[in-house]
Amino acid sequence: MHTNYYFLRQLAPALEALLTGLRFVECFSQDRDEVVLVFAQAKGKQNYYKPFYIKAVLRPDFSGLLFPQTVQRARNNSVDLFEEVTNSLPGQEEVQGNSDETVEANRPGRAVIGVRSFLNERCLAILLEDKYTMLFKFFGNRPNLLAFHENTVTDLFNQKLLTDRQLVLDALDRPIDQSWEAFEKAGYDHRKLFPTFGKVVNEWLNEQAVNNTLTTPEAKWTLIQQTLQQLEQPHYYLTKLHHKPTLSLLPLGDIQRELMDPVEAGNRFFITYNGLTAFEHEKGNLLRLLEKRRKRAEALIEINLQRIVDREEGASHEEMGHILMANLHDIPVVSGSKSPETVTLTDFYRDQPITIRLKPDLSPQKNAENYYRKAKNEKIEEDYLTGQITAREEEITLLDRQKADLEAIQTLKELRRYSKQHNLQSDQLANQLASGDTTNLFKEVIIDKFRILIGRNAKNNDLLTQKYAYKEDLWLHARDVAGSHVIVKYQAGKPFPKNVIERAAELAAWYSKRRTDSLCPVIVTPKKYVRKPKGLAEGQVIVDKEDSILVVPRE
């Protein structure tokens, strides 16, 4: 939270008091992701008085500011930056010993006239004379330092961030309607109104809402307003959150120290975070990984429990089959032995009427048999859901034990040995397959609630077809050419819609060597007819029974 929007709002006036009147005399870098700015009272080139240093780290994984007392510039491997801004300017200077005589002298740099933050944006600007501005931009994993002349970017620290050249200084302020009415229109989702809160503030809000059992929108809105007031107060907490040093404006996590000055708070956090040893970094990363997996397992348990509850509400497929068989004589027959689309009968399980949907092209007795078949699949699915819950509960027990083991480890060597022995870094695939979570494993498309999974390469195709696809799923592949395996996941009791099959075939054609063809034949078959005998190369399979469809390749 070092570059959090609310921290920058309070840092700006503190820096303004320290920098106003000083000159921006030098800027250099001696590290790929670090830049040092020097401000001072100056008379003559390299003749500085009372220098003030800002050291900025601008890495994708961490960005922040340090205000050190001294900075030693290396003789080699350092480069001057932003020389257009720090160049010498002509000015009037008195000749020593004669107050009545003045001469033209070189005065380095431009004077600081102010420091400002921006509305709802993570930026900090140092305003200089002659309409120059040095802007620290802390946008996620794209931090940068930019020089502006008036509204136009004149130079960048990270030249690879090409879009930064399009930034307009006056357009950085981002007004957002943060009223109660806007909160209502946003469906009471505060994140749409306050994107600058970030993970720490949102975690604080969730924790407060749970602890105080806040359920109504009005109560949540009151909490948000109270939190905004706290964020504007000069209290800074150096805390540890999720095993990581954090600078927070809210009393959250394992608080190590409370500070009142934003410059001192920024310094202490910067030193603490960047002073972590390799052991502390790796241990914290592993503990966060275990906690992430635990939350995922808890979420999957909740999802599967809800599925079981949803299935138990109302009549089951087996009960509807029994009700149909017990009331065959009451079901009207339409055109021969066909059935109506719906029929209302007496539910003798609950002693109330029940409306049951029927397939008109089947007889009442065949409809009952269809419900019995669904009941069999329902039992299989219920057993699967129960098994998933048990597996996730066992996973949570294992994760808790591993977390306790990690917390007790005190050396890097022991930590790495434990991680390797327990496969902590590489068991993500097994967990994803066991949980049904395919995030980042395969390309995924959702069409009418049907999941379409696409293999990324030959090895990934084998993983998709052999490990993740089940016999009821639909398997597709462009005919006679190399390409991705495509799977449409089966949904119990639901036929594959024609538009879903066609879309999956278009994707199979696109992710194949026939991408540029005007039309492409695509194999379509249930996965149970796809097999991989020993000896076949990665991605190769044998299809025992197939249909085909002709489509236009489309991404």
Domain edges within the chain: 5-171, 180-275, 277-437, 438-551
Which residues of the chain, if any, have pLDDT below 70? 1-2, 42-48, 88-107, 311-313, 335-337, 377, 381, 425-440
Q: Return the structure tokens found at 14.
A: 């503190």
**pLDDT the model gives residue 434:** 44
Structure confidence at residue 104 (pLDDT): 38
* pLDDT reported for residue 416: 87
Is-contact 293 427, C-beta < 8 A?
no
pLDDT at residue 427, rounded to an integer: 45
Q: How far apart are CA 258 and CA 426, in angstroms?
A: 39
| Distance, C-alpha 106 to centroid of its chain | 51
Strand, coil or helix: 243: coil
Torsion angle defined by CA atoms of residues 64, 68, 72 and 77, in that order, rounded to the nearest 10 degrees: 10
- Predicted local distance difference test score (pLDDT) of residue 48: 66
pLDDT at 105: 45
Please report, for residues 23, 278, 282, 410, 424, the alpha-carbon distance to residue 413 in angstroms, rounded to integers and kept in the order given.
Answer: 49, 11, 11, 9, 15
Per-residue model confidence (pLDDT) at position 516: 81
Per-position DSSP letters for 276-302, written without gaps between them: --HHHHHHHHHHHHHHHHHHHHHHHHH
SS3 content of the chain, % helix, strand, coil (to 5): 40, 30, 30
Nearest-angstrom CA–CA distance, 457 and 479: 17
CA separation for the pair 6, 255 (Å, rounded): 19
- By the 10 Å C-beta count (0-12 exposed, 13-18 middle, 19+ buried), 137 is classed as buried
Give me the residues paired with residue 244 across strands.
241
Distance from C-alpha of 40 to C-alpha of 25, rounded to nearest angstrom: 7
Q: Three-state DSSP class for 475?
A: strand
Backbone angle region of 425, left / alpha / beta, with phi > 0 → left and psi within -120 to 50 → alpha: alpha
Report the topology of domain 5-171.
Answer: ibrinogen binding protein from staphylococcus aureus fold (2.30.310)
How far apart CA 371 and CA 356 sit, in angstroms, is 10
Q: What is the pLDDT of residue 91?
A: 47
pLDDT for res 280:
84
159: tokens are: 């030249």
Q: What secondary structure letter does DSSP report for 485?
A: -
In eight-state DSSP terms, residue 494 is B
DSSP 3-state of 99: strand
DSSP annotation of 86: H
Supply the pLDDT for residue 435. 45
Whole-number pLDDT of residue 425: 67
**Which ranges of 409-522 does DSSP label H, i.e. alpha helix?**
412-421, 428-435, 458-462, 498-510
Q: Which residues contact 81 (CB under 8 A, 6 or more apart)?
A: 27, 28, 29, 35, 155, 157
**What does the pLDDT read at residue 38?**
94
- 438 within 8 A of 456, measured Cβ to Cβ: no
pLDDT tens for residues 125-159?
999 999 999 999 998 889 999 999 999 999 999 99
CA-nearest of 145, 139, 165, 138 to 153 is 165
pTM for the full model?
A: 0.59
The beta strand positions in 328-483, using DSSP E, are 342-347, 352-357, 443-447, 450-454, 474-478
